[in-house]
Structure 1
Amino acid sequence: MKKSQLILVAVGILAVVGLYALPKVVVDNDSTGAKMEESEGQTSTETPSVTEMHENELSSEKRTQADQLKYNYLNAPEKEEKVAAAQVLAGIYQEEGLFDSAAYYWSGAADLLPENMFLAEEAGKANYEAFSFALDKSKVELLAEKTRLYLNKVLDKDQSRLDLKTKVAMTYVSSSNPMQGITMLREVLEQDPQNEDGLFNMGVLSMQSGQYKRAVERFEELVKYHPDNLQGQFYLGVSYFEAKEKNKAKAQFELVKKMTEDPMILGSIQGYLDQL
């Protein structure tokens, strides 16, 4: 996962896909029933152009290059030329961390050549990345829908792409039918019990619903098979902490301190250690 997706704060955690805003769902127990507590989000009534919104955030050099590429994207006579311009534009916005603008151009490229599965996959992943950082409810819903649109095209042709299935699953978790996403994540782990994204997301969702002992089990499995997963190692420490397993939490946080020099992560760890 990208470094930018590791969002840690000293007073708690805001996990992937707006964890704090997700509906609280019992995700990991033996019961066939599921408890769900919907959380209300703010809905924006305005929908400004994504690229206009980010226009002034590009450096002057990048903005000049982007303007020329946008002209080519809009005016090139051949679809292939438009697609080429869109891909470079998307790359510029991704480099600048402007993920919804990147998603906009990947989507445009994929729509121009709808049979091209490479473009569909890249559009789906770009929309998922933007979805992961979106806070506005209407934007979250739109980006989730686009993620499913493009990634399901790829999955229709290749059901073995569990990496894409986990992304689709997480878009459902934040929807009005979160159990559809939970079910998909369970299916991923049935097919591949060591699946990194599946274990991580189930652990995160167990934390979000307050099931810290279950979260511990998920993250222990994750780091057993994927010891370099820094997020998983950190969240295992947090899960130990919340499950009142203080000795394990302390040992885990000390381990994570040796894995990174990132001051934000180290500051968060110290915040927990001060409470132990």
Structure 2
Amino acid sequence: MKKSQLILIFAGLCTVAGLYALPKVVVDNEAGTTSVEDTSAQESSPTEVAGMHESELTSANRSQADELKATLASAKAPSEIRAAAGSLAAIYQNEGMFDSAAYTLEEAVAMNSTDLELIEEVGKAYYEAYTFALDKTKVENMAEKTRTYLNEVLEKDPNRLDLKTKVAMTYVSSANPMQGITMMREILEADPQNEDGLFNMGVLSMQSGQYKRAAERFEELVKYHPDNLQGQFYLAVSYYESKEKNKAKAQFEEVKKITQDPMILESVQTYLDKL
């Protein structure tokens, strides 16, 4: 399982990723009305934003990273550019420096602007950086970068619902959150079983305190995608928050059956002890 998935699960409902630093938007009510609560996140200074990619690597990967930087700077062939940038970005991702990974891939695109697959990789990398950003300015910057690159791919292939869900989520944290909610609803209209769409709508319902509606979304998710561990976990949490104690207990027990990860099991046990 990806590190990002585990962090989201371990965190439960804590504010540790961009998905939880969102405005409180009513996403699934019957009347379709919307309420927005302004979230006051601390803004970074221009100097901090400009230097956000200057973090030092903290492992033996430093020498390899320096070599890859030199290779990338002198590379001419598209294949060489892609390989060097991809390897360097992987080092940053493994160390949790997601913004630096995205910046590295963006440099490669600047050297090879016709590579649509590479453009998609940059968009996805910026989206990953966006989901881990807490600073308001950084969240906005990462969201804008995500939209810039993924929309370029969507212009060529508008049927890529996997990319459209990512773009939609970046709008939810913007000044116009309903644009993102509307996009997500459109995705589910086109594909009612869409895994990312169901998951994100469930998360957004949780974030706005609509736990019963969140449970409905996650029930649909695990019905069609039973291997989605995050969905299984958040379904249990939604039951718990909805005071559905019996359902919550049964669902947490189900989560225990499908993973052996000690950190997840510890989180599950914490909830079970409260029931």
- Interval of TM-score (by shorter of Structure 1 and Structure 2): over 0.9
111 and 81 in structure 1: CA distance in 2 versus 1, 3 angstrom threshold: same
Q: Tell whether the 8 Å contact from 2:82 to 2:118 is kept in structure 1 after alignment.
A: no
* CA deviation string 1:168-220 (max 9, x = no partner): 11111111111111111101100000000000000000011011111011000
Q: Secondary structure at the match of 1:261?
A: coil
Q: Which amino acid aligns with 1:52?
A: E
* CA deviation string 1:37-85 (max 9, x = no partner): 11111001022534421x232x23x211211221222234566644442
Please name the residue that 1:272 is paired with.
271
What is the percentage of aligned positions where both structures have the same residue? 67
Q: Higher mean Cα deviation, 76-85 or 234-243?
A: 76-85
Q: Tell whether the 8 Å contact from 2:27 to 2:34 is kept in structure 1 after alignment.
A: yes
Please name the residue that 2:49 is paired with.
47
Shift of residue 16, structure 1, vs aligned partner: 8.0
Shift of residue 237, structure 1, vs aligned partner: 0.5
Please name the residue that 1:33 is paired with.
33
Please name the residue that 2:57 is paired with.
56
Distance 1:195 1:56 in 2: 37
Q: Which segments of 5 or more consecutive residues in structure 2 lack a partner in the other structure?
A: none
Q: Which segments of 5 or more consecutive residues in structure 1 lack a partner in the other structure?
A: none
Q: Secondary structure at the match of 2:57?
A: helix
Please name the residue that 1:210 is paired with.
209
Please name the residue that 1:144 is paired with.
143
Distance 1:238 1:80 in 2: 45
* CA deviation string 1:117-165 (max 9, x = no partner): 1011000011111111111111111111111011001100111100000
Distance 2:259 2:79 in 1: 43
Please name the residue that 1:260 is paired with.
259
221 and 71 in structure 1: CA distance in 2 versus 1, 3 angstrom threshold: same
Q: Secondary structure at the match of 2:258?
A: coil
Q: Tell whether the 8 Å contact from 1:216 to 1:236 is kept in structure 2 after alignment.
A: yes
Q: Tell whether the 8 Å contact from 1:8 to 1:14 is kept in structure 2 after alignment.
A: no
Distance 1:216 1:130 in 2: 27
Q: Higher mean Cα deviation, 219-228 or 89-98?
A: 89-98
Q: How many residues align?
A: 272
Distance 1:109 1:190 in 2: 36
Q: Tell whether the 8 Å contact from 1:22 to 1:173 is kept in structure 2 after alignment.
A: yes
TM-score by length of 1: 0.92
Q: Which amino acid aligns with 1:184?
A: M
Q: Tell whether the 8 Å contact from 1:213 to 1:243 is kept in structure 2 after alignment.
A: yes
Alignment of 1:1-276 (within 5 A): 2-6=2-6, 7-9=8-10, 12-14=12-14, 17-45=17-45, 46-53=48-55, 55-57=56-58, 59-60=59-60, 62-76=61-75, 81-276=80-275
Q: Higher mean Cα deviation, 264-273 or 244-253?
A: 264-273
Q: Which amino acid aligns with 1:224?
A: K
Distance 1:254 1:241 in 2: 13
Distance 1:3 1:193 in 2: 28
TM-score by length of 2: 0.92
Distance 1:272 1:18 in 2: 24
Q: Higher mean Cα deviation, 105-114 or 210-219?
A: 105-114
Distance 1:96 1:123 in 2: 18
Distance 1:253 1:78 in 2: 52
Q: Which amino acid aligns with 2:14?
A: L
Shift of residue 28, structure 1, vs aligned partner: 0.6
Distance 1:157 1:146 in 2: 18
Shift of residue 261, structure 1, vs aligned partner: 1.5
Q: Secondary structure at the match of 1:32?
A: coil
